[in-house]
Structure 1
């Protein structure tokens, strides 16, 4: 069963745009926007909401780290993959820095897209997503 956040039928709590490109993104378009950026080698994406929150997504084309920050300087919160034991590399930031993360602090790309769509639709991660608060 697909919930309303997956279909984009829930009204957005806040509006979101892609920082640097000033491209507005919606629940229905965000997966396509992120996939296109990844295909173009832009593995880091920063979305900013109308309320000043930021959603950081960085991928290595297979996994992604998804972080939600309430304000500048906020340690935020992030998606997790409990039980994952390995590390993955290839997370290239816009400044050229290439990072490696424990898989426990990243999620498969499809899960990252699901989480991002839900945050855009409801303002919070899905209740069934593993999530760590870093504050």
Structure 2
């Protein structure tokens, strides 16, 4: 999910899995404009999203391997 500058990149193992998401530990601030399929407009702390160009690389690696790149920062969601 993106608003063109930053993206939320999640990896879900199966239906009902809380998943994992990419993080940017050095980012500060809050970004809005993440529109969900139901029309809900969300905002996330920038540390819970990554720059969109980084997101493309993460997604390409995840699709190709099923795993985060070794140098990726990510956290498991509760």
Superposed pair shares fold, TM > 0.5: yes
How big is the shift at 1:134? 1.8
Partner of 1:11: none
The question of 1:129 aligning with 2:72 is answered yes
Q: TM-score, normalised by structure 2?
A: 0.95
Partner of 1:73: 16
The question of 1:116 aligning with 2:48 is answered no
Report how many residues are paired: 78
Secondary structure in 2 aligned to 1:59? Answer: coil
Question: Please, which runs of 5 or more residues in structure 1 have no aligned partner?
Answer: 1-57
Q: TM-score, normalised by structure 1?
A: 0.56
How big is the shift at 1:128? 0.5
Identify which of structures 1 and 2 has the higher relative contact order when contacts are C-alpha pairs closer than 8 Å and 6+ apart: 2
Partner of 1:53: none
Secondary structure in 2 aligned to 1:116? Answer: helix
CA distance in 1, matches of 2:77, 2:36: 21
Secondary structure in 1 aligned to 2:8? Answer: strand
